[in-house]
Structure 1
Amino acid sequence: MTQDVWVLGDAYEAYVGRWSRRVAVAFLEWLDVPADRHWLDVGCGTGALTATILARADPAGVVGLDPADGFLETARGQVTDPRASFMWGDAQCLPMPDHLFDAVVSGLAINFVPEPGLAAAEMARVTAPGGAVAAYVWDYGEGMLMMRHFWDAAVELDPAAAAVVEGSRFPLCHPDPLRELWLGAGLAEVTVEAIVVETRFADFDDYWGPFLGGQGPAPAYAMALPEERRTALRERIRAGLPIAEDGGIPLTARAWAVRGTTPD
């Protein structure tokens, strides 16, 4: 059984960090929070969403919070804007007083929290009345094609791999469960939106290389295989991918975003 390893910033960036930045831009456009607001980024990881808030939302300040020291180290190195700060913390028990932030967000993280209901309630608690609480997660079951091709091939070769496929392990990553999670946190005006971005890989090595970094369920599964089986998986995936005339691999990724407001 593989584990969800999310600690190494560089490996995460190569795997999905580069695509999460594209989702972050569309997410903030949809959220449309006014300028000069105070933000909290829960599960900030390597700082992709934090950096996008700084670049796109003109905030008064942003606090990024994450339980992984490796991610925080990468975030501090990449995000040097004085309006940003980073701290260690657990999404299920945020170390902040009530009603401190105007906008509290989480990008590609809440499905990894052991008790997402606690995290949603905590996000609502630290948001000022009338403030925005929002998050987005990958659509692992259908819309995250780079992972879909990997797991389809893995399960063909090893039916037992179905037990670690994100699509079955994260039922939260669908519109209805996200909506119910936000409503359960006492939020109002709850809406869910699909965000689709292009994930074009330069060639097969650009696609396959990040799966050798050990970050996340799919790379962890790949690296746990004996070399012979990993090679067979690689070639099975290669055979199923759409390859353009220039050798590029044109794929897309879909995320589901949810937003709500705290009651006045």
Structure 2
Amino acid sequence: MASTFIAHGAAGYDHYMGRWSRRLAPLFLDFAGAAAGERVVDVGCGTGSLSLALVERSAVTAVEAIDFEADFVAALQARIGTHPITARQGDACSLPFADASFDRALSLLVLHFVSDAQQAAHEMRRVVRPGGIVAVSVWDTYGGMPSQRIFWDTVTAIEPSADGRRAAAMFRPATQPGDLPALLSRAGLTDARETLLTIRMEFADFEDYWQPLLTAQGNLGQFVEGLAAPIRARVTEAVRAAYLSGRPDGPRSFASVAWAARGVVPG
């Protein structure tokens, strides 16, 4: 099944979202856990933020990393070095692994972009041994991403036809309170619980905030790219004004919140 994330190359992804996932990965691992000697699968590895954090923090035996995007897999393969990571292209909804072949299945900032998040959760449960852990995380897209709300709320005030796109971006699958533990419970996991993870993302100036959108990465980028030139210019200036908020251009810092949940594969 296809991913719903709109990607245009590993370098653009790293500039747009990779820098966020690198900050979130350690907090997620604190919650998800990892133990020496474990075999772990990283579902939707992107360019490797979670896989690399995992092997740098824990003496795991092996990490199997998969992602739908071949460019992302190639980028991770170039970074593996001597780490016990194997990266391959694959589908979160049909994992290419045998039943009960891992101690832990982890997925960072992926399930809200998967075409069938419930099927992906079932697959993660399937490949983890009894007593093992499945842990997942997604952005709190409606209530926890003010840097994106600046964009969508400003754009929709200028271009009302964007309202449907805003709704789709704000209410992605599995991003509301209680969604993730319910997803894991339906997949047959026990003791499913959730928490909130918070990072801060700094931008050097407006261009550092705005430029990644122009690479057409993700839903925001695709929308900006598709605007007529006059509307795009109006949107740019309005979003710039919202970012500046009456002060000179320069650094800004935004809290960014993610939901995380974990459950146990029953024995």
> What residue in structure 2 maps to residue 260 of structure 1?
263
CA contact (8 A) 2:48 2:76 kept: yes
> What residue in structure 2 maps to residue 27 of structure 1?
28
Work out the CA distance in 2 between the residues paired with 1:167 and 1:223. 16
Work out the CA distance in 1 between the residues paired with 2:253 and 2:221. 20
SS of equivalent to 1:104: strand
TM-score by length of 2: 0.93
Amino acid at match of 1:114: S
Shift of 1:126: 0.2
Q: How large is the Cα RMSD of the aligned pairs?
A: 1.6
CA contact (8 A) 1:7 1:69 kept: no
TM-score by length of 1: 0.94
Shift of 1:176: 1.4
Amino acid at match of 1:57: S
SS of equivalent to 2:259: strand
CA contact (8 A) 2:117 2:173 kept: no
Counterparts of 1:16-95 in structure 2, within 5 Å, are: 16-95=17-96
Work out the CA distance in 2 between the residues paired with 1:141 and 1:42. 24
Confirm or deny that 1:191 pairs with 2:184: no
> What residue in structure 1 maps to residue 214 of structure 2?
212
Q: Which runs of 5+ in 1 are unaligned?
A: none
Work out the CA distance in 1 between the residues paired with 2:6 and 2:62. 29
SS of equivalent to 1:232: helix
CA contact (8 A) 1:142 1:167 kept: no
Q: Which moved more, 1:117-126 or 1:163-172?
A: 163-172
> What residue in structure 1 maps to residue 223 of structure 2?
221
Work out the CA distance in 2 between the residues paired with 1:84 and 1:191. 28
SS of equivalent to 2:178: helix
SS of equivalent to 2:82: coil
Deviations 1:42-65 (A, max 9, x none): 111111111111112221110110
Work out the CA distance in 2 between the residues paired with 1:62 and 1:171. 27
CA contact (8 A) 1:4 1:220 kept: no
Shift of 1:239: 1.2
CA contact (8 A) 2:169 2:219 kept: no
CA contact (8 A) 2:25 2:50 kept: yes
Shift of 1:226: 2.0
The number of equivalent residue pairs is 262
CA contact (8 A) 1:138 1:173 kept: yes
Shift of 1:168: 4.0
Work out the CA distance in 2 between the residues paired with 1:92 and 1:161. 30
SS of equivalent to 1:239: helix
Shift of 1:99: 0.5
CA contact (8 A) 2:112 2:175 kept: yes
Work out the CA distance in 1 between the residues paired with 2:152 and 2:208. 17
Work out the CA distance in 1 between the residues paired with 2:81 and 2:212. 26
> What residue in structure 2 maps to residue 233 of structure 1?
235
Deviations 1:60-98 (A, max 9, x none): 110110111111111112232340011111111111110
Counterparts of 1:91-240 in structure 2, within 5 Å, are: 91-165=92-166, 166-240=168-242
Amino acid at match of 2:176: H
Work out the CA distance in 1 between the residues paired with 2:5 and 2:164. 13
Amino acid at match of 1:235: E
Amino acid at match of 1:58: A
CA contact (8 A) 2:141 2:171 kept: no
CA contact (8 A) 1:65 1:87 kept: yes
Shift of 1:167: 4.0
Deviations 1:165-207 (A, max 9, x none): 2444414112211111010000011111100101010111110
> What residue in structure 1 maps to residue 13 of structure 2?
12
SS of equivalent to 1:78: coil
Work out the CA distance in 2 between the residues paired with 1:59 and 1:148. 38
Shift of 1:230: 1.5
